[in-house]
Amino acid sequence: MLELKNIVKYFNKGTPSETIAINHLNLQIKPGDFVTVIGGNGAGKSTLLNIIAGSVEADSGLILLNDVDMSFVNEHKRAPYFGRVFQDPMSGTCADMSIIENLTIAYGRGRPRTIFKWFLQRKDMDYFTQQVKSLDLGLENRLNEKVGLLSGGQRQAITLLMATMRQRPSEKVIKRDYVRFCETDKAHAKEAVNLAFLEAKKAKKDSIKELKQKGLSKAERQVELEKINTAYEKAISEYDLTKQILLLDEHTAALDPKTASKVLEITEKIVDEHQLTTIMITHNMKDAIRYGNRLIMMSRGKVVVDVSGEEKKKLTVEHLLNMFQVASKDDAMSDSAILG
Amino acid sequence: MLDYLNTIPGALNLAFIWCIAGIGVYITFKILDIPDLTVDGSFVTGAFVFAVVVTNGGHYLLGMLLGFVAGLLCGLITGLLYALLGIPPILSGILTQLALWSVNLIISSNRSNISISVRNFDVMFSQINVYDTLWKVALIAAILIGVLYWFFGTQLGCSIRATGNNSKMSKAHGINTKFNVVLALALSNGIVALSGAMLAQYQGFADINMGRGAIVICLSAVVIGGLIFSKFAKNFAVRLSSVIVGSIIYFFIYQSVIFFGLEANLMKLLTAVVVAIFLGIPYIRRTYIARIQKFHDNQKMKRGG
């Protein structure tokens, strides 16, 4: 669960142009929620996402992820928990690197990057191809092309893929987070996870030993080895609590209507598939109503409307605009003009 | 004519020695996208450390190694100024470069010039034996390219490439961009200092002024090479090798104009002009030449062609 408590963020604090971007904001997001965020320009939507992801530091307030305070954790260390897609299609990918290289960078999220391993691993290629194929954009034939040559929509689709795919984090991180996110008996949790990992490792070692004695053919051995590895991965992954939260910052704003709807379709598909907790900022009221199970409206750095479940399903665009005007009387005129 | 041909091995030697510094600059200028001005100082640091080690009876390999390490430290300082104090990288480089002037004089015990004569000291190569030098410096350059090709093919190396390409995206994917910038700056300056050590060894002395404009010479190698290879260089090793080609071209121009009687004092002016031209070519192509083309096309259209 992601919880924001009393977040305050000023821009240009202490100068005549001081503005408050986030004003004592409180928000709770449950696992599996798909939250759409709407609000006028300057309402603090993007700042909110930046604060969650760590690229902007809040002046005060707590960011709790499974009850652990993340507000002093650096952006790159928060990366295993958050996948991001930006408004600008150029921001989410490395233009000078190929699709494969970009995917490989994303795939290494939450893992140490050392000089002891080659960057491109042949064993991952099939998986990447299959993932890119699932986008249904015909990009699987252009995997070695530079991302800079792709269109904005294609780049956003790739970025979405990058934001959502990753391997399990390293064992060290899994262990640490299992203990960190454990609510009650931390010492006990530490013991349990250490024991489980030891057992998994021992099981793997034993089965490999057994395999060697069996005297199978090379192909058969390969299959068996893969099985052992899968079992090991499964045992380890059970302790992986670093469930991802997807942060989408108006990721379709720079795209034409057709491409935008295509990218949204892909978004929905990926979110459903991985059961991701998602926060999506949008300027399109229809999209805000159509997608997700919860809708929040922001104004002047505060959540002014928060509807979910059945209530959200009944919303209409007009209804929403009315709510917006009621919620923010002073700047409603200009904002509704922008949002209309 | 024969006289001119005789200058070629010397020019090649200088080209290979400077291309190593060029490769160092390639890391910051091309991969990190930061023009790092520490180079002017760290080049001399490498040379002086080498000179001090060798004149005190140390082995030349030890001298080159310590020169490299000294360069690493120079880059580390620039990097830390950027990462810990938030000073923009270009300014951090200028600060370190300024500080290194004094540090270099401390290293050399206030001598502005240290002579490493071949007659008195055992060195790897020198100006006196140009042909013997040639294969040695070429080999060092080749080894360096091999090592860097390996390094930038590893996970860490590629995360440095991503950092230079798009730091926002890199951070979002868990790459410690600050660490990577510091690492790359250190590595780059280490390589530059190695080149400085090699030049001191080759010409037989280290001088406090030998680094002045080093960044421009390195940039000329990087830019000329990059321009020539821009069309067909996809492989990273090839792109690194383009620095060698750029360096060779630069030193051919250099040696030629010296040979045909240009005053040596004008060389810095010439270097700056050459670099300005090569840096400007892509822009000239994009705008002016494209416009002339467009003008002609439009004229044709108006005439109904």
Do residues A177 and A151 share a domain? no
- Binary contact (A162, B153; C-beta < 8 A): no
pLDDT at A339: 53
Query: Domain span at residue A221?
Result: 171-237
Same domain, residue pair A64 and A91: yes
Instruction: For the beta carbon of residue A93, count every other beta carbon within 10 angstroms.
Output: 29
Tokens for B191? Answer: 């390589």
Highest-pLDDT range among A73-77, A215-219, B117-121, B269-273: A73-77
Q: What pLDDT is stored for residue A332 in this prediction?
A: 44
Residue B86 in contact with partner chain A when CB distance is under 8 A: no
A53 touches chain B (CB under 8 A): yes
Domain CATH for A143? 3.40.50.300
Distance of CA A268 to the CA centre of its chain: 13
Domain end marker among A205, A237, A269: A237
* Lowest mean per-residue pLDDT among A86-100, A231-245, B72-86, B105-119: A231-245
A19 and A87 belong to one structural domain: yes
Residue B114 banded pLDDT, cuts 50, 70, 90: very high
Question: Which of A324-328, B73-77, B169-173 is most confident?
Answer: B73-77
Secondary structure of B203-257 in the HEC alphabet? HCEEECCCCCCHHHHHHHHHHHHHHHHCCCCCCHHHHHHHHHHHHHHHHHHHHHH
Answer whether residue B161 is part of any domain: yes
Highest mean pLDDT out of B7-11, B124-128, B177-181: B177-181
| Residue B195 pLDDT level (bands cut at 50, 70, 90) | very high
The backbone torsions φ and ψ at residue A52, rounded to the nearest 5 degrees and listed phi first, read: -60, -45
Q: What percent of chain B has pLDDT over 90?
A: 67
Is B159 an interface residue toward A (CB < 8 Å)? yes
Assess whether A137 and A217 both reside in one domain. no
Q: What are phi and psi of A10, to 5 degrees?
A: -105, 150
Does residue A83 form part of some domain? yes
Tell me the percentage of chain B whose pLDDT exceeds 70: 100
- Cβ-contact A91, A254 below 8 angstroms: no
B163 touches chain A (CB under 8 A): no
Question: What residues form DSSP beta bridges with A10?
Answer: A20
Residue range of the domain that includes B54: 2-210
Mutate which of B169, B179, B180, B234 to test chain A, going by most A C-beta atoms within 10 A?
B169
Cα separation, A222 vs A215, in Å, equals 12
A149 part of contact set with chain B, CB < 8 Å: no
The answer to whether A314 and A26 are in contact (CB under 8 A) is: no
d(CA A215, CA A166): 35
Quick check: is B14 in a domain? yes
Q: Please report the pLDDT score of residue A331 as a whole number.
A: 53
Judge whether B111 lies within some domain.
Answer: yes
Is residue A128 domain-shared with residue A12, that is, in the same domain?
A: yes
Contacts of B147 in chain A (CB under 8 A): none
Largest Cα span, chain A: 79
Nearest to B233 by CA among B157, B149, B150: B149
* pLDDT average, residue stretch B32-51: 95
- Nearest-CA distance from A243 to chain B in Å? 15
Enter the tokens of residue A25: 């904001």
* pLDDT of amino acid A340: 45
Q: Are residue A182 and residue A155 in the same domain, yes or no?
A: no
User: Do residues A65 and A182 both lie within one domain?
Assistant: no
What is the mean pLDDT of the segment spanning B174-186?
95
From the list B158, B166, B175, which residue is nearest A119 (CB)?
B158
Distances (CA, A) of B27 to A43, A217, B77, B192: 41, 48, 17, 11
Residue B155 with chain A: CB contacts under 8 Å:
108, 113-115, 117-119
User: Do A32 and A144 fall into the same domain?
Assistant: yes
Looking at residue A123, what DSSP letter applies? G
Cβ distance A92 to B172 less than 8 Å, yes or no, reads: yes
Of the three residues A237, A267, A292, the one that is the final residue of a domain is A237
How many independent structural domains does chain A possess?
Answer: 2
A74, A158: one domain: yes
A161/A176 same-domain check: no
Asked whether residue A276 is domain-assigned, the answer is no
Query: Are A126 and A62 in the same domain?
Result: yes
* CB-CB under 8 Å, A105 with B173: yes
* Mean pLDDT, rounded, for B35-61: 95
Residue B241 is assigned to a structural domain of this protein: no
Residue A338 is predicted with a pLDDT of 52
The answer, yes or no, to whether residue B305 has pLDDT greater than 70, is no
Query: B32 and chain A: CB distance < 8 Å anywhere?
Result: no
Domain count, chain B: 1
pLDDT in tens, B140-157: 999 999 999 999 999 999
Angle among Cα B209, B254, B23 to the nearest 5 degrees reads 70
Decide if A262 is inside a domain: no
Q: For residue B271, is it within any domain?
A: no
Asked if the structure places residue A317 within a domain, the reply is yes
pLDDT tens digits, A249-299? 999 988 888 888 888 998 999 899 888 899 999 988 888 988 989 999 998
β pairing state of A60-65 and A2-11 = antiparallel
- pLDDT at position A47 is 93
Low-confidence residues of chain A, pLDDT below 70? 328-340
